[in-house]
Amino acid sequence: MATWIGIWLLIALLSVMAIAIVVVGLGRHVLIVGRTAAQARDELAPMAEEISREGTRAAERAQNLKVPRPGPS
């Protein structure tokens, strides 16, 4: 009976080690994705601000346009 307990303990230990390895790998990937997202945000922020300014400017110009209204038929 003691042999079976030893085998089950070994299987449990190997399972815990495998899960720990997977968790560490996932943690590393989370860090890599986080760094990449921050870098992309930093690189794209100036372009997004410029696009926002251009959109605001276009909206202001559109408000100042006089649209001809059709006369009575």
pLDDT band at 30 (very low <50, low <70, confident <90, very high): very high
Which DSSP symbol is given to 71? -
Taking the domains of the chain in order of start, what are their residue ranges?
21-55
- Compute the mean pLDDT over every residue in the chain, rounded to the nearest whole number: 91
Average pLDDT over residues 11-35: 98
Model pLDDT, residue 73: 61
Model pLDDT, residue 64: 82
Q: Whole-model pTM?
A: 0.58
Q: For the chain, how far is it from start to end, CA to CA, in angstroms?
A: 103
Model pLDDT, residue 37: 96
